[in-house]
Chain A
Amino acid sequence: MKREGKKRLLALLLAGAMTLSLTACGGGDDKGDSSSGSDKPGKNIKVGLVIGPNGLGDKNMNDMSYEGLVKAQEELGITLDYASPASKSDYDQVQRMYAESGEYDLIFLAGVDQKDGITKVAAEFPDQKFRWLDGNVELPNVNSIATIWPQQTFLCGCLAGLATNSDMPLANKDKSVVGCLLGSEQPALVEGTVGFEAGVRYTNPNATVLQATIGSFTDPGKAKEMALTMYDKGADFIQHIAGGSGLGVFNAAVEANRYAFGVGSNQNDVEPDHIVATSLKDVRNISYNEVKKLIDGTWEPGIHEIGIIGGGTGYTTEGSNVKVPQEIIDQVDAIKKQMEEGKLVPPGQKSELENWLKQNVYQPAK
């Protein structure tokens, strides 16, 4: 009898330990208490944020959207609520919950996969304002912001094209090979690889761009193996467009002692000795500015594309320890300027690429 009691206690303890370990991964995201009682311009503004099912901590769209709005909360005094559904099937239910309450001045949606939900819910609540990032559907009460992917990756491509034959210590001067790893073949992201390839071959017509698709945004192990294979084949710079899988590319860069590019928010400090630059998409600022527009009364629905013009994308070397020769930086900045002036528009379709390269021949500014 006594022994059985002990057994039961052990079983209970085990059960307890298991549940604790289950919750352990869920905690720790209660950063955003609403600041109150100030004269900040947004004190009467309440916004909601619907992020993807993978929640905060993705070092990507979810985190960046959240951080941008937390910044707005701290500086502008808005109130922020956020939620993530348990699966993609629940997007419309969460969106509707926000809309139904009628409390929110603007509901932010992060992620292209909220499309099916928002097309339904936006029509049902015509007076509710939404902001949808990486959205592409024209709806009367939704501001759909789409980033132009080729413009995001083009400049890192240019940098790679110029640097692959340079004297940079981890580049192999005699081989003009660089790589690009894609998470999955979503059309928008494929445009990103085309933009990168265009950049490389624009500045270095002899260069080869190795390309591969990992098939997952959450598989750094596989990404690492694929990146190592690319480095093996002579690539010295690899651009990833693969979300969480990208961490594997950075690992491979360290192991092979080569270079890599980040994507999205500035990732240079992940491996500052190997990540040269990041193909930047400034979701933080895009979200923050949206709140500002709401306060100023300049918010408007529609489809807005954000590229080099408008300041949503670009490239940055900030936070990286890699020394890129100044003449290369100067050249890339000159190209960036041309893009800002609208003189140079990178292609997004594979079918356009060869023609585009024939029509746009790079002449280094002296």
Chain B
Amino acid sequence: MGKPLNKSKLAHSANTAIQSVGALLIALILGAVILLLTGANPLGAYGAILKGSVGSMSAFINTLIQTTPLMFTGLSYLFAAKAGLVNLGMEGQMLCGAMGAAVAGAWDLGLPKFVHLPLAILVGVLAGGLYGLIAGLLKAKFGANEYIVTLMLNYVATLLMSYLANGPLRPEGEINVATAPVLETAQFTKLVKNRGLTAALFIAVTLSVLVHFFLDRTKPGYEIRAVGRGRLASETAGINIARTTMLTMFISGGLAAMAGVSMVLGVNGRYIEGFSPGYGFNGIAVSSLASGNPLMVGVSALIFGALRAGAMVLNMTQRIRPEFADMIQALVVIFVAMPALFQVVKTRAKKPETEPAKTAEKKEAN
């Protein structure tokens, strides 16, 4: 069932790689132009980003802390996209996952770590997965547009979690809007003392490989990709579209939930309202830059993670808001979504060969 690597596939992945790198470069250049227009110094700004992301061990740890949740949401978006679905509800699914993990993690059952931690992860993943399943179910049974359903469910999740963190789940006397601290037995092992870099990063890497394997080498994975290529054709071929849609949204939601789980059981040690700077939506950019290849999600997330970590120093020394990172991300998405732009570049590069064809075309048009 797995497709053998052939020449055209290789050429295809080389193409998409060029496109991704090109999009990133254009985004960075345009970012520099915008910095110039706002009166900032682009060289100083990018220097600060480098310093804040890879300039020291501590900076690189910050980069990896930022990379971890981005990997999960990147995988989440990518997974749904394989089935031709657009999951815009990753932020909400992530919040559900975070809250699920926070509740299970703070629950004192006297369990040892090797039971409690997986349990807390599982509860989080199930919470996010089931939340994603709502959109899948509505799509499969009633043909509801998943763009709208997932997007709107973000608000429901945000407000519901806000209510829980403000009300019933907030411990007595807590001054922040947050839940009770997660027990030691439910926390990810820290890779560096006192820092938010945890074993969750390994889970993210493992999951990218698993997702790749699942999509490429298993029957349900094949069905998901088939549905993504053509719903009607796969239905004719006997694939259960409804079931595939629901499965996809469940897994996609579960992957997004892992971002929240990693923040709660790793970085923050509890659910804090406003813990996410938009990791859910950032997943779209991560997946776009990885051009749909699960094995590239790690690289893509690392680039955006570095940008996010660097943005902190950028803010401190250059007085540029940390949202600069979001802007670059948005630019990348825009340019990745413009494959035609790169076709122009390519045809220009091959000009001598294609010139006759072009003139012929022109004549025809005239």
Contacts and interface: CB of A to CB of B under 8 A. Distances in A.
Interface of A: 1-2, 4, 8, 11-12, 15-16, 18-20, 22-23, 26-27, 29-30, 32, 48, 53, 55, 81-90, 92-94, 96-98, 100, 112-113, 115-116, 120, 124, 136, 184-188, 215
A187 B327 contact: no
A19 B327 contact: yes
A184 B334 contact: no
B261 to A, nearest CB: 13
Contact of B269 (A4, A112, A116): A116
B62 interface: yes
Contacts of A27: 38
29 contacts: A2-B365, A4-B340, A18-B330, A19-B334, A20-B37, A22-B323, A22-B327, A23-B327, A26-B320, A29-B319, A29-B321, A30-B39, A48-B316, A86-B311, A86-B322, A87-B277, A87-B278, A88-B268, A89-B275, A89-B276, A90-B312, A97-B52, A113-B177, A113-B274, A115-B175, A116-B176, A116-B268, A215-B162, A215-B166
Interface in B137-196: 162, 166-167, 173-177, 194, 196
A165 B362 CA distance: 86
A90 B277 contact: yes
B34 A20 contact: yes
B312 A30 contact: no
Is chain B's binding surface mostly helix, strand, loop or mixed?
Answer: helix
A116 B270 CA distance: 10
Contacts, number: 136
Contacts of B272: 88-89, 113, 116
A124 B277 contact: no
A1 B362 contact: yes
Contacts of A96: 58
A83 B38 CA distance: 18
A88 B274 contact: yes
Contacts of B176: 112-113, 115-116, 186
A22 B38 contact: no
Given A90-B277, A124-B194, A19 B34 contact: yes
Interface residues of B, number: 60
Return the 10 tightest CB-CB contacts between A and B, nearest first: A87-B277, A86-B277, A83-B316, A26-B321, A86-B322, A83-B315, A89-B275, A15-B334, A88-B274, A30-B319
Contacts of B320: 26
Contacts of B309: 93
Nearest to A216: B162
B285 to A, nearest CB: 13
B209 interface: no
Contact of B322 (A19, A30, A85): A85
Contacts of A188: 175
B106 to A, nearest CB: 14
Given A23-B327, A94-B312, A55 B274 contact: no
Interface in B312-366: 312-313, 315-317, 319-327, 330-331, 334-335, 338, 340-341, 344, 358, 361-362, 365
A94 B330 CA distance: 24
Contacts of A88: 268, 272-275
Contacts of A186: 175-177
Contact of A93 (B65, B166, B321, B365): B65
A116 B269 CA distance: 9
Interface in B229-274: 263, 267-270, 272-274
